[in-house]
């Protein structure tokens, strides 16, 4: 762990990290003592005044240097993150590590973005309090202070880079707590940031459980903001604690992406797009269109296409180059996914693919699973799997498609497949969701990213993400 510029062992001991594919122990992670979490937050608070006054060019250079060092250590990081997450090699090589480097580069540039916003002068009437006249004004983006960055297990270092990059660029100091299942690469990350030359206390890394280290961090009086990505129930609990002390919040929470496929859609594109995200990192991705809403005219073709796609997905050893679906992160997560599949079927869904454990000697696998003929209120339609499971609901028309899409508590990422651009745009604007993809699952990383409803509060992404780590200050003067 990295506390106040020192690399330290866990005060509460250490615990085994298990490879989800082989079930072998691949390393030991430090378990932070609550006093170490508090020391990390205190170090971040002490470092904040000086760091917040550094020149933007200096912050940019340090973030770029960190990206360079991460690139130098890619050959070490890729197998490490692969082993602790169970990601396929393709996911580890293309997403887990390079995306994290890109985020550092993006926010190195972000440090140089203007923080002063000129405002038009306004004329004020004479009152009992003041003599009126023209008032000039600017708004200034100020850093918030100490940011607690708490992340989930699916993309440990990518999620972390997406938080500490903009937080540091904006002049905040940070305490990072990764998910307990796979924190090893994040601890390397801590070493890299120290080597890059960030002053002691500017970046701190503590590892351990949510109940101990996570709660201690959120409750710390030194913490001014909590930037959390994870499940909705934990996000809600964090919001309650943080709200008591008016800590600023950025919450990126659960999703249950709708993939609306209209009669006029290009079906091969729709099916290929949905399938690519279905299988991606074994469905452990919050933006996946796992709730397919198909118009009746194409319903049978959509089901048949998804069934064929499931049959083509090779499940197994994540190190094999042709593996598409690897394991889930843990036995607990596999059991959770299987229980929700059973509930979906008990509530009237029909199994069209998967639903069983693949025949493998080790690992926490769930075969790509397709549940069709679901009513909108089926638990499998309403609740998040975070696994390789897609459900399909039939609808008659546009209005019903929108109503079903909007019927869950989530609102993170939905998709519209239609050849009619005007219709796709019209539907997109009616969706109560933070993000909509039209005929694509590609993202634009400069676009604001975040959730409506129980999918979160605030926005990541590009300059919006940078601004999330700032407070707006107005400065007003006469003349
Ligand atoms: P989780 O909520 O169980 O854990 C996330 C993090 O919170 C972990 O570091 C955990 O230790 C910590 N934590 C747990 N209890 C805590 C507490 N009381 N106080 C402080 N910290 C606490 O989530 P997970 O199982 O790791 O990840 C899966 C979830 O993350 C899914 O719901 C998924 O949709 C969501 N997710 C959302 C996004 C997004 O951008 N919206 C991205 C990735 C994952």
**Ligand 1 pocket: which of 87, 176, 234, 364 to mutate (most atoms within 8 A of CB):** 234
Residues 278-316 as b or e (16 or more Cβ within 10 Å = b): bbbbbbbbbbbbbbbbbbeebbeebbebbbebbeebebb
pLDDT over threshold 90, residue 25: yes
Mean pLDDT (whole number) for 24-46: 98
Whether residue 414 contacts residue 431, with contact meaning beta carbons closer than 8 Å, is answered with yes
Percent of the chain with pLDDT over 70: 100
Neighbour tally for 26: CB within 10 Å: 17
CA 123, CA 27: separation in Å to the nearest integer?
65
Are β-strands 225-229 and 203-205 bridged in parallel, bridged antiparallel, or unpaired?
A: unpaired
What is residue 90's predicted lDDT score, i.e. its pLDDT? Answer: 87
Residue 365: band (very low, low, confident or very high) from pLDDT cuts 50, 70, 90: very high
> Which residue minimizes the CA distance to atom 31 of ligand 1?
231
The Å distance, Cα 105 to ligand 1 centre, comes to 25
Mean pLDDT (whole number) for 42-54: 98
Percent of the chain with pLDDT over 90: 95
CA 339, CA 335: separation in Å to the nearest integer?
6
The per-residue pLDDT for range 264-276, each reduced to its tens digit, is 999 999 999 999 9
Q: Is the model more confident about 96 or about 472? A: 472
The per-residue pLDDT for range 53-106, each reduced to its tens digit, is 999 999 999 999 999 999 999 999 999 999 999 999 889 988 878 899 999 999
Indicate the Cα dihedral angle 96, 391, 254, 422, nearest 10°. 90
What is residue 152's predicted lDDT score, i.e. its pLDDT? Answer: 98
Atom of ligand 1 nearest to the CA of 155: 43
- Opening angle at CA 31, ends 176 and 338, nearest 5: 85
The CA-based diameter of the chain, rounded to the nearest angstrom, is 82
Tokens of 283: 């469905």
CA-CA distances (angstroms) from residue 339 to 280, 289, 346, 363? 21, 20, 11, 18
Are β-strands 350-353 and 291-295 bridged in parallel, bridged antiparallel, or unpaired?
A: unpaired
Residue 41: band (very low, low, confident or very high) from pLDDT cuts 50, 70, 90: very high
Distance of CA 33 to the CA centre of its chain: 26
Mean pLDDT (whole number) for 111-133: 92
**Ligand 1 pocket: which of 34, 150, 152 to mutate (most atoms within 8 A of CB):** 152
Mean pLDDT (whole number) for 329-351: 98
pLDDT over threshold 80, residue 375: yes
pLDDT over threshold 90, residue 279: no
Residue 252 among the catalytic residues: yes
Q: Which residues line ligand 1 (CB under 6 A)?
A: 150-154, 177-180, 209-211, 214-215, 218, 229-231, 234, 237-238, 252-255, 286, 384, 386, 412, 451, 456
CA 135, CA 247: separation in Å to the nearest integer?
32
Q: Which of 84, 252, 338, 384 is catalytic?
A: 252
CA 434, CA 453: separation in Å to the nearest integer?
9
pLDDT over threshold 90, residue 142: yes
Atom of ligand 1 nearest to the CA of 455: 41
CA-CA distances (angstroms) from residue 374 to 167, 270, 323, 371, 382? 42, 19, 29, 7, 11
φ, ψ at 340 (rounded to 5°) = -70, -30
- Opening angle at CA 436, ends 432 and 438, nearest 5: 135
Tokens of 121: 């002068």
What is residue 364's predicted lDDT score, i.e. its pLDDT? Answer: 98
The Å distance, Cα 12 to ligand 1 centre, comes to 22
Neighbour tally for 330: CB within 10 Å: 16
Average pLDDT of the chain is 96
pTM of the model: 0.97
The Å distance, Cα 445 to ligand 1 centre, comes to 21
Residue 286 among the catalytic residues: yes
Mean pLDDT (whole number) for 171-190: 96
**Ligand 1 pocket: which of 230, 233, 251, 334 to mutate (most atoms within 8 A of CB):** 230
Tokens of 60: 């940019």
What is residue 129's predicted lDDT score, i.e. its pLDDT? Answer: 82
> Which residue minimizes the CA distance to atom 7 of ligand 1?
210
CA 339, CA 333: separation in Å to the nearest integer?
10
Handedness of CA 357, 363, 368, 373 (dihedral sign): positive
205: CB partners within 8 A, 6+ apart: 1, 2, 3, 40, 175, 176, 177, 178, 186, 187, 189, 190, 193
Mean pLDDT (whole number) for 142-157: 97
Indicate the Cα dihedral angle 387, 391, 397, 401, nearest 10°. -30
What is residue 131's predicted lDDT score, i.e. its pLDDT? Answer: 84
CA 442, CA 153: separation in Å to the nearest integer?
22
Mean pLDDT (whole number) for 166-178: 98
Nearest to 303 by CA among 348, 255, 261, 365: 261
The per-residue pLDDT for range 397-456, each reduced to its tens digit, is 999 999 999 999 999 999 999 999 999 999 999 999 999 999 999 999 999 999 999 999
What is residue 97's predicted lDDT score, i.e. its pLDDT? Answer: 82
Whether residue 433 contacts residue 414, with contact meaning beta carbons closer than 8 Å, is answered with yes
Atom of ligand 1 nearest to the CA of 253: 41
């Amino acid at each position: 762990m990295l506390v106040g510029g020192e690399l330290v062992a866990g005060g509460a001991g250490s615990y085994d990290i298990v490879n989800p594919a082989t079930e072998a122990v691949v390393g030991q992670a430090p378990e932070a003592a609550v006093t170490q979490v508090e020391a990390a937050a205190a170090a971040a608070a002490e470092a904040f005044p000086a760091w917040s006054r550094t020149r933007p060019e200096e912050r940019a250079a340090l973030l770029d240097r960190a990206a360079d060092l991460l690139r130098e250590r890619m050959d070490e990081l890729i197998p490490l993150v692969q082993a602790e997450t169970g990601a396929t090699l393709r996911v580890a090589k293309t997403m887990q590590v390079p995306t994290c480097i890109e985020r550092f580069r993006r926010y190195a540039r972000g440090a140089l973005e203007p923080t002063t916003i000129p405002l038009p002068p306004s004329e004020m009437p004479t009152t009992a309090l003041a003599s009126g006249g023209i008032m000039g004004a600017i708004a200034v983006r100020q850093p918030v202070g100490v940011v607690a960055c708490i992340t989930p297990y699916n993309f440990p270092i990518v999620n972390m880079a997406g938080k500490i990059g903009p937080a540091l660029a904006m002049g905040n100091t940070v305490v990072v707590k990764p998910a307990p299942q796979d924190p090893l690469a994040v601890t390397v990350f801590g070493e890299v940031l120290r080597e890059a030359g960030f002053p002691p206390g500017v970046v701190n890394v503590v590892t351990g459980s949510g109940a101990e280290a996570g709660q201690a961090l959120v409750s710390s009086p030194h913490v001014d903001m909590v930037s959390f990505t994870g499940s909705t129930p934990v996000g809600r609990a964090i919001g309650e604690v943080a709200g008591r002390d008016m800590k600023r919040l950025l919450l990126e929470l659960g999703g249950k992406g709708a993939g609306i496929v209209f009669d006029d859609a290009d079906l091969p594109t729709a099916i290929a797009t949905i399938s690519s995200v279905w299988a991606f990192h074994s469905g452990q991705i919050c933006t996946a269109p796992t709730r397919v809403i198909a118009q009746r005219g194409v319903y049978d073709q959509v089901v048949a296409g998804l069934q064929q796609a499931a049959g083509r997905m090779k499940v197994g050893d994540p190190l094999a180059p042709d593996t598409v679906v690897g394991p889930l992160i843990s036995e607990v997560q596999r059991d959770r996914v299987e229980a929700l599949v059973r509930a979906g079927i008990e509530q009237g869904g029909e199994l069209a693919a998967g639903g069983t454990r693949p025949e493998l000697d080790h690992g926490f696998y769930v075969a790509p699973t397709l549940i069709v003929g679901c009513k909108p209120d089926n638990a499998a339609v309403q609740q998040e799997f975070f696994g390789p499971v897609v459900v399909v609901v039939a609808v008659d028309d546009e209005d019903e498609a929108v109503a079903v899409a909007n019927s869950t508590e989530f609102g993170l990422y939905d998709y519209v497949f239609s050849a009619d651009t005007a219709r796709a745009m019209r539907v997109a604007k009616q969706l109560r969701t933070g993000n909509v993809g039209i005929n694509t699952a590609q993202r634009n990383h400069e676009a604001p990213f975040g959730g409506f409803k129980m999918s979160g509060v605030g926005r990541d992404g590009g300059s919006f993400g940078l601004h999330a780590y700032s407070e707006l200050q107005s400065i007003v003067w006469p003349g």
